[in-house]
Structure 1
Amino acid sequence: MSAADVLSSIWDDVTGTQPPLSDGGVLATAAFSALLVITPWAWPVCRHVVTIAHEGAHGLVALLTGRSLHGIRLHSDTSGLTVSRGKPRGPGMVATAFAGYAGPALLGLGAAYLLGRQHALAVLWLAVLLLALLLLQIRNFFGLYVVALAGAAVVAVSWWGSGEVQSAAAYVGTWFLLFAAPRPVVEVQLLRRRGQARTSDPDMLARLTGVPGVLWVVVLLALTVGCLVIGGRWLVG
């Protein structure tokens, strides 16, 4: 099979529709994803997925607002760093700082929209594309390892998985992003209260805008919870 045939096959799958999960399957994937977020043994590992989405959102918005992206680093403690160059203040910098915690929730909301229209493979191949673009900007070995591993897993499911496996994987990934997005917002506020997150995104937004950091936390929490409610209704409906 030629490369053109492979790309044509992928495009047909992406633009086509796949059978949706049963109501029980949707609820089962939701319950499984929620457990990944709330269980102490799973969250430290799964949180790397949230960090990937968080830093990727920083980088994407930096580029969209005309800033120059100088690389992304992902660390084993689930922290990350996105370096961009441009005006130190202004709407572009505010949008870039805001995008991190909002990114996973909005990505999950977009995936829920596609799943509501039976485009499970579109969700998976879009994830592959975003991970591939992110891989080009990673500047440390651990980050390369994490993003490459995530990309390989999604490619394997997208290419060799059955229709049921592909749909289940798309639902689990989408539910996970929706459920997981509010937790880092709560965690950063707990750190802020102890004075341990002076360089956090809400504190950066406070310095850029003059609006107190706790209000930015409230806005981000409302956004992430809102995406969970809306996305959950799309998935269940």
Structure 2
Amino acid sequence: MDLLTEIVDRALPAARTPRLAAPGLATVLAVAAVAALWWPAWRVLRLVVTLVHELGHAVVGVAVGRRLRGFVLRADMSGHAVTVGRPTGPGVIATTWAGYPAPAVIGALLVWVAAKGWTAPVLTALLAGLVVALLFVRSALTGVVVLAALAGTGALWWWRDDVLQQHVLVGVGVVLLVGAWRHLATVLGRADATSDVGVLARLTWLPAAVWQASLVLALGLATWLVVAEVLAVLGGG
């Protein structure tokens, strides 16, 4: 079997979708909750949430026609992605808004596709995305985080175990969702002009509270999707 065949085999969805059983799901949820809420674990994992946040800015920026120059993560949970284009208009507004919802949206999608048996194609896409992201890393810490994410994703993809992939993606999805709420909580009710919400208020002249409400709504919808999927499994649906 040649390398191309090996790669294709690892990118195809499972021939038979593994059933996400209630006991396994409960264990995954418990581990994910500890990982997202226990400070020693969160201190490390928050960098992954920040990575997804910044890649959200980057991907949407490129999608609306802006040029990505690079992105940086910092140990204090902050970061920035630099895109170049028009300083005003819907493109820069969409790019700025995309950061906070990105971890929640990606987290919800991971849970959903895992339950449907599409973990292998999703892991393949994530690997490709992380390889591209490496080209735009602009600090040592950022490089370490991206390489660690690449190593973990690559190992899970190469030594394929459909059940393990399913449970890991559900766990990661829940961590990203909880992490998105933790990140958003740091800006709710604040008027920091340098935050994404502050920048959106300056770009549009809409009050920061309106943009905060839109972010809460986006995270709420992602949470609803995850809760609905979890309840369907726990209820035997």
| TM-score when normalising by structure 2 | 0.90
2:65 is paired with a residue whose SS is coil
Report 1:93-172 matches (<5 A). Answer: 93-160=92-159, 162-172=161-171
Query: What is the CA–CA distance in structure 2 between the aligned matches of 1:235 and 1:5, rounded to whole Å?
Result: 35
- 1:210 deviates by 0.9
SS of the residue corresponding to residue 77 of structure 1 reads coil
Question: Does 1:229 find its partner at 2:228?
Answer: no
Aligned-residue identity in percent: 30
Following superposition, the deviation at residue 70 of structure 1 comes to 0.7
Shift of 1:15: 6.3
Kindly provide the amino acid, as one letter, of the partner of residue 50 in structure 1. Answer: V
Following the alignment from structure 1 to structure 2, what is the Cα–Cα distance between the partners of residues 204 and 211? Answer: 10
The 5 Å alignment of 1:50-89 reads 50-89=49-88
The question of 1:204 aligning with 2:199 is answered: yes
Show structure 1 runs of 5+ residues with no match.
Answer: none
Distance 1:166 1:117 in 2: 12
Mind listing any 5+ residue stretches in structure 2 that lack a counterpart?
233-237
- 2:8 aligns to what? 8
Instruction: Determine if contact 1:114/1:120 at 8 Å carries over to the other structure.
Output: yes
TM-score by length of 1: 0.90
What is the CA RMSD across the aligned residues, in angstroms?
A: 1.8
Cα offset, 1:129, TM superposition = 2.3
Q: CA offsets per residue over residues 66-118 of structure 1, 9 Å max, x none?
A: 11111111122221111111110100000000000011111122222312312
Aligned residues: 232
Confirm or deny: 8 A CA contact 2:10 2:160 kept in the other structure: no
Going from structure 1 to structure 2, the CA distance change for 1:32 and 1:92 (only over 3 Å counts) comes to same
Is the alpha carbon distance of 1:17 and 1:122 closer, same or farther for their aligned partners in structure 2, counting shifts above 3 Å?
farther
Partner Cα distance (1:181, 1:232) in 2: 15
Map Cα deviations across residues 186-226 of structure 1 (whole Å, 9 max, x no partner).
Answer: 11226x26xxx331000000001111112211221221122
